[in-house]
Structure 1
Amino acid sequence: MTKRHYGVFSLLAGGGFFDGFDIYIAGSVLASMVATHFSTVGKNASFVSATFLGLLLGTLVVAAIADKVGRRFSARYALLLYGVATILCAVMPSFSGLLVMRFFAGLGLGGVIVTSYGLWVEFVPKRSRGFWAGAMSFVINLSQPISALLALILVPHYGWRSLFWVAGVPAVIMWVLQALYLPESPRWLESKGKQNEANKVIGQFEKYVTNKGASVQGTEDQPKSAAPVAALKQVNQSSLWGPGVRKATILAIIISVLTIVTWYTFTAWIPTFFVKSGLSEVKTFTFTFVIMLGAIPGNALAAILSDRLGRKNTLIVLSILLGVISLLYGYSRSPGLIMTFGFLFVMGGNILIAMTIASYIPEMFPTNVRMAGSSLANAFGRAATIASPYFIVFLYGKGGQNLVFWSSFVMYVVLAACILFLGRETKKKSLEEIAYEEISEVSHSVSHGIQS
């Protein structure tokens, strides 16, 4: 890690922070719109679906752009689109106009998160990749308690529109900084045959090492032998459904769908559930703020555990624990228990998101299709969240929040089983070594089949 790494980290995490902030203010905005009669629970479902429809399409578009045109281009202009559309959300006079702007904001949102995590993974050394992916998730998801705190401070005095101003204006400023200082991924440049440009980018990092009198030859991110790199160059990994990539694609889709749906079931709807149960706006935002503080220890633990305990086993155990906690939260009635189990759920949910979306999913794909794979998985997750708000409204009408959280329990158990049977460990392995293992596994199976 060099000074240049820290600069890239700041640019990507900064853009991701306001992206996350926009998503997490949704719960407070929805609750306030219901309380002020600008919207209803049914209309709120349309708001959430419009946002996630934009997220879905934005994620698919960025997949094509990021792998063909470049990571830097897609990251910057997704952030600009999101920032401008969010500012326009603040001035829309009608609910229908707000839905249109939320759709366009979603287009940008869908690109920012995927490119931020995917690009960062391609810069970080393998031995600390889990830690630094967790660190980026920590910064981005600080937006959870901060958005809840600002909702508590701003909404009672300035209304829900103020949150869109806070989310949009800084994002445009961050876009300017990215346009000036964010480098392209050298791994992507090399995969496109742009070796000279890749070397120039690497030189930006190496100079901070050589200035200290250290050698940059034989860096730790090189595979232990030349075999992985040589094999990867001979195998076509341009398809997400080809040998060596197919299983990663399937698992990534499953992880993304179950993680995103269960997470946004909680964060987007909890304030609305509070309002519908009779709590005032002030109490609703106070409860939400305390619960969202769980993001801070959650992301810190993700950074610590990822490289120490590994991704696979931690994710399996954590998924089961989250299923149990979601049930306990659903049956809690006293303020103390609601805030306690809500805090624990947010803490565990942030560990899960940091280790899957920020690290595990991008790691599973080779460079040629890393953004395409991450984006496709993310797109399936967003597609599920387009339909899930209406399903949540249905469940809430039939059995209240208890039934909603029983559905979350089932999804977490399924997630644990899928990671157990389809997942592989990725800690402290270079991205090339991970891809080589996947190819070798397929080659071994084919050879064994021929011998049989």
Structure 2
Amino acid sequence: MRYTAAQRLDRLPEGAFHRRLAAMIAAGIFFDTFDLYLAGGVMVAMVRSGWSTMAQNAHFVSAGFLGMLIGAIVAGVTGDRFGRRFSLQFNLLLFGFASLAAAAAPDIHWLIGLRFLMGLGLGAEVIVGYGMLGEFIPPARRGRWAAILTLAANSSLLAATVAGYLIIPAFGWRWMFVIVGVGALATWFARKKLPESPRWLESVGRYDEADAIVAQIEAEVARGAALPEPAVAIESPRRDFRVSDLFSRRLLRATLLGMTVNVVGFSALFGFIIWMPTFLVDRGLTLSSSLGYASLMATGALLGAGLAVLLSDRWGRKRGIAGMSFVAAVLGLLYPHAHSLVVATVLGLLLFAALYFCGALAFSTYVPELFPTELRLRGTAMSNVAGRLASMLAPQVVVAIFLNGGGVNRVTAILAALLVVQGLVVGLFGIETRNRPLDSQADSIALGATGSPRSAANASRS
């Protein structure tokens, strides 16, 4: 009896192969987010040295975000058409060389153009990396490993901050781009033996290649553990998904769920978290003190991602995202009413933890799980683009509310409302993906099933 690549991969015990794969993907995502966080220190240094102006720095930031938006779209298309490995490696190579070129930029105008190219690679890494990891990891551990990627990404904030503190004053801002470029290219080289996704290979009819890759993985895993038999193959309906299905009855539910968690997540990040120092100054703190307290609260990001590592596969995505959304909404409403700075700091830290817990489950785990292999990266990219568009609008909305008398109370009230909407949408219309074959949820949505584990599992086996 012939088994699919998905059935063979899903029954494998977790082993050295899975850890090595996760480490290679995590390294790329680490340098991806490291680059985002280094921008603040670099821009300050450029202005102080007279190399750029505040207005030019704004163009520098905008060029990066525009590149990331376009990069996400391109990565979705190339990853589904030409393979996960091709898209992951090509974009990392582009990002690495653009970063090294940025270190030698002759003026700010060149740097802005190079920042756009770097953004193309940055936007692709997250889309392809999270989606590709889930196509190898067994269902029972998929959430844990995806959350570990998020933890690696969040740890880059501390790394970028420390590196900026030690390197920029002593050696100059250009060396920050050297670090990123060298790290990205070293990761690219380490990934040269990264296998293509067998699920994707089978989805485009390349069965012999998929079989050879899975056989290699099985042989490695078998050296450390006995391999159980795959699930019994049951005939399933033909899955001929097209891009238009993302906006048709077949997959519209998945698309709307993916867009919802991305829009709320990005709005929380750029509509509240990045404004935390400003809110603290409004409460009477000095700028230095506000940055210190904001940094302390930001440790909640690591706490939230760490909790996701522990709880993602225990609680499940649907219950975890919906439940923690309501918790975050309550914390958001309480924050502006804190009677002391200590209470405000604790509430802020817990709010950060709740928001990043939701993000770890949503961005890295849940959204890629919602779409079928044929459209996984394009569906994830479409959802991500909706979030990035929201991130462009959110700062303008916050400033308008804050400066027109709304203050922190109104801003956190809007944040809480968005989180309640997310909790309701995921809680009422989401499907649980925990410990289920990767494509079973897409089949459930396409077939109009109720999303029960048994019906989904039966529909997914082929």
Q: TM-score, normalised by structure 2?
A: 0.83
Find 1:323's aligned residue among 312, 329, 346: 329
Q: Any residues of structure 2 matched to 1:169-208 within 5 Å, and which?
A: 169-178=182-191, 180-208=192-220
Over the matched positions of the two proteins, sequence identity in percent amounts to: 32
Report the equivalent of 2:18. 5
Q: Is the CA contact (8 Å cut-off) linking 1:27 and 1:272 kept in structure 2?
A: no
- In the aligned structure 1, how far is the partner of 2:388 from the partner of 2:357? 20
Q: Is the CA contact (8 Å cut-off) linking 1:49 and 1:386 kept in structure 2?
A: no
CA-atom RMSD in angstroms: 3.1
SS in 1 for 2:137: coil
Greater Cα offset, 260-269 or 11-20: 260-269
**Larger RCO (CA under 8 A, 6+ residues apart):** 1
Change (3 A) 1:269 1:172: farther
Report the equivalent of 1:147. 160
Q: Is the CA contact (8 Å cut-off) linking 2:264 and 2:422 kept in structure 1?
A: yes
Letter in 2 for 1:67: D
Q: Does residue 1:254 correspond to 2:296, yes or no?
A: no
- In the aligned structure 2, how far is the partner of 1:28 from the partner of 1:403? 30
Greater Cα offset, 57-66 or 403-412: 403-412
Q: Is the CA contact (8 Å cut-off) linking 1:329 and 1:341 kept in structure 2?
A: yes
1:147 deviates by 2.5
Report the equivalent of 2:234. 226
Report the equivalent of 1:350. 356
Q: TM-score, normalised by structure 1?
A: 0.85
Report the equivalent of 1:450. none
Report the equivalent of 1:436. 443
1:140 deviates by 2.2
Letter in 1 for 2:218: E
Find 1:298's aligned residue among 281, 295, 304: 304
Letter in 2 for 1:416: G
SS in 1 for 2:179: helix
Q: Is the CA contact (8 Å cut-off) linking 2:262 and 2:387 kept in structure 1?
A: yes
Change (3 A) 1:253 1:213: closer
Q: Is the CA contact (8 Å cut-off) linking 1:145 and 1:293 kept in structure 2?
A: no
SS in 2 for 1:301: helix
- In the aligned structure 2, how far is the partner of 1:10 from the partner of 1:130? 15
Find 1:25's aligned residue among 24, 38, 41: 38
Find 1:422's aligned residue among 407, 422, 429: 429
Letter in 2 for 1:100: G
- In the aligned structure 1, how far is the partner of 2:120 from the partner of 2:156? 19
Which sections of structure 2, spanning at least 5 residues, go unmatched? 1-13, 452-462
Report the equivalent of 2:420. 413
Task: Tell me how many residue pairs correspond in the alignment.
Answer: 434
Report the equivalent of 1:362. 368
- In the aligned structure 2, how far is the partner of 1:103 from the partner of 1:168? 15
1:296 deviates by 2.4
Greater Cα offset, 290-299 or 347-356: 290-299
Report the equivalent of 1:313. 319
Change (3 A) 1:234 1:73: closer
What per-residue deviation string (whole Å, max 9, x for no partner) do you get for residues 148-180 of structure 1? 3334444555565554343333112212212x2
SS in 2 for 1:129: helix
Report the equivalent of 2:67. 54
Report the equivalent of 1:240. 246
1:327 deviates by 4.3
Q: Is the CA contact (8 Å cut-off) linking 1:49 and 1:385 kept in structure 2?
A: no
